[in-house]
Structure 1
Amino acid sequence: MGLFAALGLFAVSWIAWKLLRHRLLPSPLNNIPGPASVSFLGGVYSKLFNNDAWEFHKYLYQTFDNTLLIEGILGEKELFTYDPKALHHIFVKDQNVFEESDQFIHVNTLLFGPGLLGTLGEQHRKQRKMLNPVFSIAHMREMVPIFYSIGYKLRNAFLNKIQNGPQEIEVVSWMTRTALELICQSGLGTSFDTLVDDTPPHPYATSAKTLIPTLSGPAMRYVTAFLLPRVSQIGPASFRRWVVNIFPWKTAHDVRDIIDVLHNTSVEIFESKMAALAQGDKALADQIGQGKDIMSILMRANMSASTEESLSRDELIGQMSSLMFAAMDTTSSALARLLHLLSLNQDVQDKLRQEINEAREAEGGDLPYDIIAHLPYLDAICRETLRLYPPLPLARRVARQDTILPLTTPIKGRDGKEIREVAVHKGTKVIIGIMASNINPKLWGPDANEWKPERWLSSLPEEVIAAHLPGVYSNLMTFIGGSRACIGFKFSQLEMKVILSLLVQSFRFSPSKAEIAWQTTGIVVPKVVGSDAKAPQLPLVVARA
């Protein structure tokens, strides 16, 4: 009995230490100013990560320097930064030090398997090396006909809706369906959606759309933050599933069912492709992607790779849902935002339509990659929208060892002294202000918070160039940078430009009477103010152009 009592006391002490060590141990971050904690349990998370956090974000940017202290769950000290030199160290120079958190890796491995989103270090590097050629410009050129064919289906669906005159259309659901079908055909060589009105959704589409809302509840956030990283490796997968099955929590069962659909669909597609590969090039050419889709090319390359560089079956399957999920919600969010902004700025919409019409007339039809990728005004609108409204406004990293983080702009500590570099202890979580960097007035000027596509038609401010931001796209942090930068950012750009060009050429978009609020649910999505609908909503009035 004494032994059990001692073990129980040890367990309680260990848990208490884990929960309270952030309060009891001195931290080098304590001298850094930041917002006051709302509560011990949640710190300022309730303000920073809620659905309507924009005002709090604005408060942070206007009140504090570009590096500040954030109190997280149970008082944990976290660093929030968008200082250019700090970003360079986090994403490039010290990217092996500042890695994804265990929580991020465990959650993504559980959801999607050991693909790009669920791996670290050498395994991640190997996967990325195998995937990089698939996202080359040469391959993008071959994607254009697929993108147009899907774009025309979307256009026909809208034409059918407005055949009797202008109609209000909820466009975000159509953008999600389109983005999913784009990655289905060009990424996996399969099809989930005919893009015909009232078509029953594919089970994969339903599961993918409900994943983020299901994971976004307060209870599930605590489970993924604290419980999952500690129990995800206990016993075999069959044991962990048994525990989930017997635990009386509907949300956990919903997540389990979503994962099953995502995984089983990926396995079916993988096995179909393996069978086609075994039959030869003709069998691949008969599939929807004609053997030019991302997974067909990846699987062929993997078969000829050396043993050291080749990917396992689970890794290949893991890429499918990883690519599908990463490409669907972010692209649909960006497309919806573009259409909303064009509806609110009719002069911009008219100017864009004129550019597209003139280019199509000169080309005699659909625009090839080298033309549509470089239409000046279309490109400026896309860049400005992704600058001011990134679909993911925040990113996160954790320090895997003690390090020093230098700052471009010194900050003033709580003691009044200047801080030029921050000592970061192993295990410190870092929140990166993607949107904050993109709208930093010290770099972009006093109009940084205004949507002005024309700013991209002339030279960018010297401050932006001199900052040497590590983002892979247009001096922006939207697609981040370094070894974990968005591998498909060129793919996403091409998708948006093809779809937008077809829609703007054919239709005029105007605001509806509904008030729209863009919510920060991880990925930014639109909602109708006052509506009880759980799904994103963006009703716009659509008429023939």
Structure 2
Amino acid sequence: MLRSSLSLSTSDIMIESTHFSASYVGLVVLVLILLYHVYQDKSRRSAEIGNLPGPQSPSWLRGNFLQVFNSEAWGYHEFLAKEYGSMVRLHGPAGSKTLYTFDPKAMHNVLVKDQEVFEENDGFIQSNLLMWGDGLLGTLGHRHRKQRKMLNPVFSAAHMRGMIPSFFDVTHKLENALTMKLKSGSDIQEIDILSWMGRTALELIGQAGLGYSFDPLVGEESAHPYSNIIKQLVYVLNALYYDILVADDNIHASRPALMRVQFWRTNLLPRVCNIGTARFRRFVVNLLPWKDLHDLRDMADYMYETATGIYESKKQAFEEGDERVTQQIGGGKDLISILMKENMKATEEDRLEDSEVISQMKLSPLTLFCYTQLRLNWCKYLDFCGNGYNFGQFSAMARILHLLSRHPEVQDKLRDELIQARQKNGGQDLSYDDLVSLPYLDAICRETLRLYSPVPIVARIARKEAVIPLSKPVLGLDGTEMHQVAVPKGTNVIVSIFNSNRNTDLWGKDANEWKPERWLSPLPNSVIDARIPGVYSHLMTFIGGGRSCIGFKFSQLEMKVVMSILVEKFRFSPSAQDAATFWQMNGITAPVVGEDKHPQLPIRMSLAK
């Protein structure tokens, strides 16, 4: 009986063991099948990108990086669109996968519909967090949306109306300074208009944005050290992140430095930022023998101290009452005062912390100053390994004046419009509604921002696998039509604002010509039907989605106020060096003259009457 029981137990064990082995084998087979499908899916996604048309890579290490990013890259971007269309495969550094697109549906998918899938990379977020704090540029997801929710109403048309007096006050100071300069010398003088536009832009954001004055706009030099810090910061950042590529020989010479910077920022910075305490990291920075880094540290410290001082002063004024607030510059109608008022009324859930408000204050002078002078718009310019630090952008105001100097018939027509508008208003400065309704001034601003978008490209990185649909099928290398592209996690996606705004399929054969008159008639149906996902006038200049340029209305008003005063008062003509003037694309994207690579824009000026 015992032997029988033992025999049955052994038999049962053998059966159980057989079942376990079969189950184990089945599980292993199932896992292998799943892994195979995952591998196949990844291979298919990679194969889809590989099937897209695109240029060859000159180097595995660098990919097409230095073809896309150098001071004369405009022609290469035109080549990509003409040769390969609106969805292009590029080679990123070290073989990384990269897409380049200006397809309307693809842009909408990346920037709007799936914006939480396609975000800035960790290097971009961490570097902005270190430099500016936990403001818009250093946050993602819920925290970023919370800040946008609080900030969006600050830039409403109603608040813009309240800033008009400050805008005109600053611009008249500029007018007086330039008039005195012309009267003290010859009737016609060459003036570096880029420098004056930069000073004006900083003072405008100082008064209208922060309720603070940085520059009295008298004499050649600005008074407040903050203004010099802002200007120096642009060049230090450029040295840190781009090493200023200015000519073919220099491009080759600077490639090792450029790639080291990209490696540091993209691969090391997100990890280093999490090591130890902030005090320990500051200690390490102090030890590093890198002058530009130390300069950047000192500038960040100074901007933080200045922003904190302004914030505490405003906070005290609010505690003392409305009368004290109205006594400040801007009469309490500046952007930060409005933000602080709204923040005090917000619920606990929506309220921003003091550090978040101070971060916006640190950002405001730089972003809006650069948006209009060097157009350092935080719509961001790509650093190939994910939305990087090319802050240098065109001077929107200086660009308009440069174009008007080359097109005297347009300048005269605009001047006539401005003179007539002022006469109708009894010789007084125009109201907000009258100013924004001037058709020819508006057409000139729109056309300039279309053809010469201050930010040529922006980029995102796919945080997970996704599919990007296309509005126009692409013929793959294997001859098949591709209506969508499967994108693996980690793929860089470059959105070409430059080529979207110049797309001949939408804007017509004259898309590459500066024609303000195109905005005086209804736009082509092709433009309307394309549903460009930009926040401004069927253009991608200010991009779209949750990370679009939050201050574009401020910038528009600033341009129109400055143009309305300067064009009526002065006449602009090309300088003797105009033929040698070139607008660089990389690094500090700004005008240079001849071999002198310092940003400048000399224009001949005289009194118009």
Q: Normalization by structure 2: what TM-score? A: 0.83
Cα distance in 2 for residues equivalent to 1:53 and 1:281: 53
2:542 match: secondary structure: coil
* Aligned-pair CA distance for 1:418: 1.4
Q: Give the corresponding residue for 2:198.
A: 176
Cα distance in 2 for residues equivalent to 1:474 and 1:36: 35
Q: Give the corresponding residue for 2:309.
A: 268
Of 420-429 and 231-240, deviating more is 231-240
1:101 touches 1:396 (CA, 8 Å); kept in 2?
A: no
| Residue-by-residue CA offset, 1:78-114 (whole Å, 9 max, x unaligned) | 1111100001111221112112222221121111111
Paired amino acid for 2:160 = M
Q: Give the corresponding residue for 1:71.
A: 91
Q: Give the corresponding residue for 2:172.
A: 152
* Aligned-pair CA distance for 1:264: 1.7
Cα distance in 1 for residues equivalent to 2:309 and 2:400: 35
Paired amino acid for 1:138 = A
Q: 1:40 aligns with which of 40, 45, 60?
A: 60
Paired amino acid for 1:529 = G
1:521 match: secondary structure: coil
Q: Give the corresponding residue for 1:109.
A: 129
Cα distance in 2 for residues equivalent to 1:526 and 1:331: 13
Q: Give the corresponding residue for 1:338.
A: 400
1:543 aligns with 2:606: yes
2:204 match: secondary structure: helix
Cα distance in 1 for residues equivalent to 2:503 and 2:432: 32
Q: Which runs of 5+ in 2 are unaligned?
A: 1-41, 244-257, 374-394
Q: 2:591 aligns with which of 502, 514, 526?
A: 526
Matches within 5 A, 1:118-517: 118-163=138-183, 164=185, 165-216=187-238, 217=243, 218=258, 219-332=260-373, 333-364=395-426, 365-514=428-577, 515-517=580-582
* Aligned-pair CA distance for 1:522: 5.0
| Residue-by-residue CA offset, 1:352-384 (whole Å, 9 max, x unaligned) | 000000000001110101011010000000000
Q: Give the corresponding residue for 1:5.
A: none
2:590 match: secondary structure: strand
Paired amino acid for 1:281 = D
Cα distance in 1 for residues equivalent to 2:597 and 2:108: 42
2:235 touches 2:588 (CA, 8 Å); kept in 1?
A: no
Paired amino acid for 2:130 = L
* Aligned-pair CA distance for 1:229: 2.2
| Residue-by-residue CA offset, 1:142-174 (whole Å, 9 max, x unaligned) | 111100000001111110111031111001011
1:391 touches 1:523 (CA, 8 Å); kept in 2?
A: no
Indicate how the Cα distance of structure 1 residues 179 and 222 shifts in structure 2: closer, same or farther if over 3 A, else same.
farther
Indicate how the Cα distance of structure 1 residues 532 and 468 shifts in structure 2: closer, same or farther if over 3 A, else same.
closer
Q: Give the corresponding residue for 1:89.
A: 109
2:472 match: secondary structure: strand
Cα distance in 2 for residues equivalent to 1:326 and 1:292: 19
1:190 match: secondary structure: coil
* Aligned-pair CA distance for 1:201: 4.6
1:444 touches 1:461 (CA, 8 Å); kept in 2?
A: yes
Cα distance in 2 for residues equivalent to 1:210 and 1:325: 11
Q: Give the corresponding residue for 2:4.
A: none
* Aligned-pair CA distance for 1:209: 1.7
Cα distance in 1 for residues equivalent to 2:170 and 2:502: 34
2:464 touches 2:489 (CA, 8 Å); kept in 1?
A: yes
Cα distance in 1 for residues equivalent to 2:532 and 2:207: 34
Indicate how the Cα distance of structure 1 residues 178 and 344 shifts in structure 2: closer, same or farther if over 3 A, else same.
same
1:203 touches 1:261 (CA, 8 Å); kept in 2?
A: no
1:70 touches 1:80 (CA, 8 Å); kept in 2?
A: yes
* Aligned-pair CA distance for 1:46: 0.9
Paired amino acid for 1:526 = P
1:290 match: secondary structure: helix
2:458 match: secondary structure: strand
Paired amino acid for 2:272 = V
Paired amino acid for 2:591 = P
Paired amino acid for 1:270 = Y
2:216 touches 2:222 (CA, 8 Å); kept in 1?
A: no
Q: Give the corresponding residue for 1:9.
A: none
1:329 touches 1:523 (CA, 8 Å); kept in 2?
A: no
| Residue-by-residue CA offset, 1:404-429 (whole Å, 9 max, x unaligned) | 10001111222222111011122211
2:46 touches 2:487 (CA, 8 Å); kept in 1?
A: no
* Aligned-pair CA distance for 1:523: 5.8
Q: Normalization by structure 1: what TM-score? A: 0.93
| Residue-by-residue CA offset, 1:51-94 (whole Å, 9 max, x unaligned) | 22111111111111101112122121111111000011112211
Cα distance in 2 for residues equivalent to 1:499 and 1:40: 48
1:407 match: secondary structure: strand
Cα distance in 2 for residues equivalent to 1:254 and 1:413: 49
* Aligned-pair CA distance for 1:48: 0.7
Cα distance in 2 for residues equivalent to 1:460 and 1:210: 41
Indicate how the Cα distance of structure 1 residues 196 and 221 shifts in structure 2: closer, same or farther if over 3 A, else same.
farther
Look at both structures and tell me which one has the larger radius of gyration over its CA atoms: 2
* Aligned-pair CA distance for 1:200: 4.1
Of 64-73 and 350-359, deviating more is 64-73
| Residue-by-residue CA offset, 1:215-234 (whole Å, 9 max, x unaligned) | 23225444323322221222
Cα distance in 2 for residues equivalent to 1:132 and 1:479: 15
The Cα RMSD (Å) is: 1.6
Cα distance in 2 for residues equivalent to 1:509 and 1:296: 37
Cα distance in 2 for residues equivalent to 1:512 and 1:291: 41
1:70 match: secondary structure: strand
Paired amino acid for 2:315 = M
Cα distance in 2 for residues equivalent to 1:230 and 1:32: 33
Paired amino acid for 2:372 = T
Indicate how the Cα distance of structure 1 residues 361 and 523 shifts in structure 2: closer, same or farther if over 3 A, else same.
farther
Of 257-266 and 59-68, deviating more is 257-266
| Residue-by-residue CA offset, 1:299-352 (whole Å, 9 max, x unaligned) | 121112111110011101111122222211121210010010000000000000
* Aligned-pair CA distance for 1:402: 1.1
Paired amino acid for 1:348 = V
| Residue-by-residue CA offset, 1:250-280 (whole Å, 9 max, x unaligned) | 1221221221222221111111111111111
* Aligned-pair CA distance for 1:177: 0.8
Cα distance in 2 for residues equivalent to 1:390 and 1:523: 14
Counting matched residue pairs gives 521
* Aligned-pair CA distance for 1:461: 0.9
Cα distance in 1 for residues equivalent to 2:139 and 2:163: 27
